[in-house]
Structure 1
Amino acid sequence: MVLRDVRCLGGLVLNHATSSDLTDVAEPEVLRQADAHRSRPLSARPQRITSHQRLDAHSYFAPDTAAATAVAITAAAKILTSDSVSTAGQAAQWLTERVASTGRPLHPGNVASLGGTISPGLQAALRCSREAKVMPVARLRHRTAVASTRSPSNQDARARMLPTALWPEWALRLTPWHPSGKPVARRTDELLTVACLMVGNTTKIHAATGLTGTTVSSHNVSSLLAELIRRRDCADVLHALILLADHLDQHGSPIDYARRRALFTTRSCFIDPTHWRALERRVRANHTPDIAHAQRWVFHALTGTPPRLAHPAIAPATPAQRQQYLRFRWRILPAEAELLTHTARTILDGHGIDEPLQWAPRLDAASLRPLRLPGPAPATITMARLHWAVPVGDFSIARVAQRLHTTTAHAIYLLSQHPVGWSPPRFRRTQHTATRISQWRTWYEQDHLSLQDIADREGTSLASLRLALLKNDSPSVALAPTRAAPGGGDRNPWSQGLRTTTVRTPTPGGTPGWARCGFGRWPSTGTAALRSMSTLGE
């Protein structure tokens, strides 16, 4: 095979190289003799050549001078002794450009036909030598960014292993950004998924978008790829996409995304609103997120598809709604994420799908370390450091990113994947109290403890205990109805020793007024007052 490689390259040198190309290969006198060999007409009966005219006819003749033979072999050896396929491609670039300048069509798909049968390594090198002359999508098809360059084939089966939007950690690493902090293209994560499917694939871009479940256009994909090869900080993004595609082809994916897209894209409800509201009463002290965001979160986790492509009943219809959902993802509390994750897992179990809820491929760190990628590696910031950077109470994502010395996109990714309990200490006590109500119920009903005894055990005040009971008055935590205690008297916490309290609350007309409200039954106009008292009671 080495001899065939030498013959191929030597023939190209004899046919297309000029003396100026070979000054570092041989002495001027030797080059003059090689030029004389090239200028002589071919014999009437060429060796091993077909009857039709060949553009590289000298490739099929044994040189009749030692000078021509020496020049051809020396030039070929300089290419074949390169350290890697990429360096061999660079060494052969001048030669393939000479071939192309003669008018012969030359692209990565036909370089293997230059001189008959050649080794896969030389084929890869010749393809790499034409990388700068082909469109970005052709670079993906022929895998010119890596040593395993080869002719494309049908790789549509990879679409089942790809989410509609590239895995968040890979989208973070591979997305190019403007200096303003915004991505250079909308829906970049979906465009990158299509690009990953195009690796080594003969499928048209338009067909690839349909296979991944996205609605982006072929023009959008081509524009992003063109941007990637223009930017110096994105020099190895195509290389990383090829590594991802190779990993999927070799190891597969534990998730069949195509099946999940078929099952859940037309579904309009994923979580029971009553369960969500019951949780929100316990974990949120202020505005409760829209239930639609919870539906979108579950859909997104199940399918890997952005909610804009979900059922119209839950898909965000406006840019403002899409921004609100993105904010919901990085401000989600651990208890909320736990409920939504459990809900999604239950849905998968109901369909008999034995797959992990979410997954992302892991590549060898050594193969990624030398690559120049536009985004940071997610693992560069530990969870302990993230918890340190997030303040209690309301916070700005830009401020968190500044404290972590990273980008806003990186901070958003970390908070979306690893929720942090950012509630203020006062409301954290309220959240802890909500988890204790079932124990209070046991003490009250089975051990016959009074509310004051329970408050003493918990190290809190009786008022705080009463307000916690009222705030969490739901079927899952409500205490027993009114009943007579042993020895007489009423032991219902709603009526035991409760005194009517006067609170300041607005009247329906909007002017402040006084309302007498018992703890057992609050009128609707007293809700705001109750919330304010519940926080003071803590």
Structure 2
Amino acid sequence: MVAALLAMDSPDIASAGDALRWLVTSSRERGLAVHATNMGWGKNTSPVLSAVQLTAVAPLRKPSDQLRYRIGTPLPTHPAPGTTHTTALARRLPSMLWPAWSLPLSIPNCHQRQLRPVLSAALLIVNSRLNLDEAADLIESPVEGHAVSRVLQLLEQREQWPSIRAALIRMAGYLAEHDVPIDYERRRALDYTMLLPDKVWARICRDTATPGPRAIRAKIARCFLFERLTGLPASASPFAVDDNAFRTKVADFPQHLTPELGRALDAHTREFLANQGIDSEPAMWYPPTDLLDGLDLPGPNPDAVDVTDMHSLTTVAGNTLGATAIRLGTSLDTVRYLLELHPAPRRYPLSEGQATQVHNRAYCTAKAALPRARLADLYHQQQMSLREIAATAGVSRQIIARLARDYDLSLRKPQRRARTAIDRDWLYEQYVTKRRALPDIADEAGMSTANMARWAKTHAIPMRGRGGPSHSANLAAEDVAAEAPELLRPALAGIGGWERLERFAAATRHPTLTIAAEKLGVHQFTLVNQINRIERELGATLLNRAERGRPMKLTAHGARVVATIRACQRRAVR
């Protein structure tokens, strides 16, 4: 009777429950089992009295039961019968609670990877008859019921537990009363094997000037998108690597996000969802945080972080994410979440020239000159070849082929061109007699240098070594020979003929070729070879070599040759 009077005299349900609690305690001390499920104090108990009774036994209940009976609310109640409302709630819940809601509930020694799935399962417990394992299974949680219970017990030990409990109940109430634009149950069942293919990632890297289109970076990006789309942990994706270092790289991926890369990835996720038949949902949804206002929560408040300062610390100062979190007085996971929400711009925005320098200037030039519609028209409608299109853009055929693949344009199978036969006499004249360069000959014949080299091999025409004289040099030598006196013309047929003749004439002023070579600044072997070549080309001996102390002496024909050379030199001077 005393307990009833005290309860009736209380200003609210919480005070009434406190007043009634001594009766519950004393009953349990006498060996009576008094708990929320067997309290039958009177028939046709009113909702208010039931709420008082539930509040009275609240401290004796597990944290999951406190959520189940909505303890701490103005009117605690017994859980609703049936599973319809929990099934509907599970469709609106990601397997891991949104960071916007989980971060303020963070506690020491409990990582977000562990806390987020526990909190999602806990929301299903509110006002429901599900046990913890059933709640975890309903959202395909990566944790089991005993893990949910253990983390809830850790939360209950915090002095902020009443606020934590109130936050979870408010979250569950919001989701029950409001539509969430994403069906997470359907998202969890999608096939993600075609999420962010390699060629799409490579194209995004080129378009956004993002370094590192390597396979490992692509795999990290896929896991990041998988977690965003499904609400499941990245470790559950088909691309994940079971390695702590890899998981850390996925978690740190927001550090590499830029506004341009973020928009490109968002566009791809929308395209991916559309291909899966989902075109009415956003790629991501962020729950409101104002329903947590007024609560004393243990974790950081992301809204309290200055995003501009965070960008400055990460991009300008070059701090690690951990160091940035310390400087901002927040947690590492908060910095990761905010960088995902607000990607940091580049410290120095890339100009067009810098972007092309980072990512293939020729490719960017071709893409600027040939939008998809233009390239499709030239290739499919006008039936131009890739080589012809490349010539108009001033790039290689390979660049145009890569651009076409990035545009998802189907390429024609290359047609085998009719083989061009090369006549041996013509090739011999061009290559050996006229000493033209092989690439010039190949270009004239409309084939590659390699093909022309194969024709030379077929016709048993020996190839010159690399670095031979050019065709223009041979033509210049022919012009000099045509204007020279007839006596000298045979020695002027090749390149350098006039220089050899002048050196021969200068050498005859000295008694021996050894002295002549020394005075002329050439090796004796070179000088002797050049004089021997002149004699072969003119068909006569020009010089009797020095021997036994006698100086060398010109022959009669040699004297005429030297006189002709010097006459040409005098005319050139005049």
- What is the TM-score of this pair, normalised by structure 2? 0.59
Aligned twin of 1:169:
100
Structure scoring higher RCO (CA < 8 A, sep ≥ 6) equals: 1
Query: Deviation string for 1:358-395 (max 9, x for gaps)?
Result: 223325x3x53332212122222244343344333843
2:188 to 236, 261, 285: 261
1:384 to 299, 304, 308: 308
Code of the aligned partner of 1:212: I
Distance (Å, rounded) in 2 between the aligned partners of 1:260 and 1:251: 19
2:195 to 270, 283, 286: 270
Q: In structure 2, do the counterparts of structure 1 residues 368 and 386 end up closer, same or farther at CA, with 3 Å as the change threshold? A: same
2:256 to 331, 334, 343: 331
Query: Deviation string for 1:130-176 (max 9, x for gaps)?
Result: 11111122112112132231112334311111101101111211121
Code of the aligned partner of 2:86: D
Distance (Å, rounded) in 1 between the aligned partners of 2:347 and 2:220: 19
Aligned twin of 1:343:
268
Q: In structure 2, do the counterparts of structure 1 residues 172 and 476 end up closer, same or farther at CA, with 3 Å as the change threshold? A: farther
1:327 positional shift? 1.3
Aligned twin of 2:128:
201
Query: Deviation string for 1:43-89 (max 9, x for gaps)?
Result: xxxxxxxxxxxxxxxxxxxxxxxxxxxxxxxx534323433322222
Distance (Å, rounded) in 2 between the aligned partners of 1:248 and 1:174: 18
- What is the TM-score of this pair, normalised by structure 1? 0.62
Q: In structure 2, do the counterparts of structure 1 residues 332 and 271 end up closer, same or farther at CA, with 3 Å as the change threshold? A: same
Distance (Å, rounded) in 1 between the aligned partners of 2:66 and 2:139: 20
Aligned twin of 1:125:
52
C-alpha contact (below 8 Å) 1:392/1:424 kept by paired residues: no
Aligned twin of 1:358:
284
Distance (Å, rounded) in 1 between the aligned partners of 2:48 and 2:18: 14
Greater helix content: 2
1:432 positional shift? 8.2
Distance (Å, rounded) in 2 between the aligned partners of 1:405 and 1:136: 30
1:398 positional shift? 2.3
Distance (Å, rounded) in 2 between the aligned partners of 1:286 and 1:105: 65
Unaligned runs of 5+ in 2: 375-393, 407-466, 468-574
Code of the aligned partner of 1:291: A
Query: Deviation string for 1:465-489 (max 9, x for gaps)?
Result: x99xx999951799xxxxxxxxxxx
Q: In structure 2, do the counterparts of structure 1 residues 275 and 350 end up closer, same or farther at CA, with 3 Å as the change threshold? A: closer
Distance (Å, rounded) in 1 between the aligned partners of 2:111 and 2:220: 26
Matched, 1:248 2:175: yes
Matched, 1:412 2:342: no
2:321 to 397, 405, 409: 397
Query: Deviation string for 1:176-199 (max 9, x for gaps)?
Result: 123xxxx35852211111111111
Aligned twin of 2:389:
none
2:235 to 301, 308, 322: 308
Matched, 1:139 2:66: yes
C-alpha contact (below 8 Å) 2:132/2:146 kept by paired residues: no
Deviates more, 1:192-201 or 1:288-297: 288-297
Distance (Å, rounded) in 1 between the aligned partners of 2:223 and 2:316: 26
C-alpha contact (below 8 Å) 1:161/1:257 kept by paired residues: yes
1:201 positional shift? 1.5
Matched, 1:320 2:251: no
Q: In structure 2, do the counterparts of structure 1 residues 84 and 370 end up closer, same or farther at CA, with 3 Å as the change threshold? A: farther
1:423 positional shift? 4.9
Distance (Å, rounded) in 1 between the aligned partners of 2:159 and 2:181: 34
1:420 positional shift? 0.8
Code of the aligned partner of 1:171: S
Distance (Å, rounded) in 1 between the aligned partners of 2:370 and 2:236: 47
Q: In structure 2, do the counterparts of structure 1 residues 118 and 336 end up closer, same or farther at CA, with 3 Å as the change threshold? A: same
- What's the secondary structure of 1:361's corresponding residue? coil
C-alpha contact (below 8 Å) 1:278/1:474 kept by paired residues: no
Aligned twin of 1:232:
159
- What's the secondary structure of 1:352's corresponding residue? coil
Matched, 1:88 2:16: yes
Aligned twin of 2:294:
370
Percent of pairs with identical residues: 27
1:223 positional shift? 0.6
Backbone CA RMSD of aligned residues = 3.3
Query: Deviation string for 1:291-346 (max 9, x for gaps)?
Result: 111221222222111121222xx123222211111111333222222121111111
Size of the aligned set, in residue pairs, is 373
1:411 positional shift? 1.4
C-alpha contact (below 8 Å) 1:273/1:291 kept by paired residues: yes
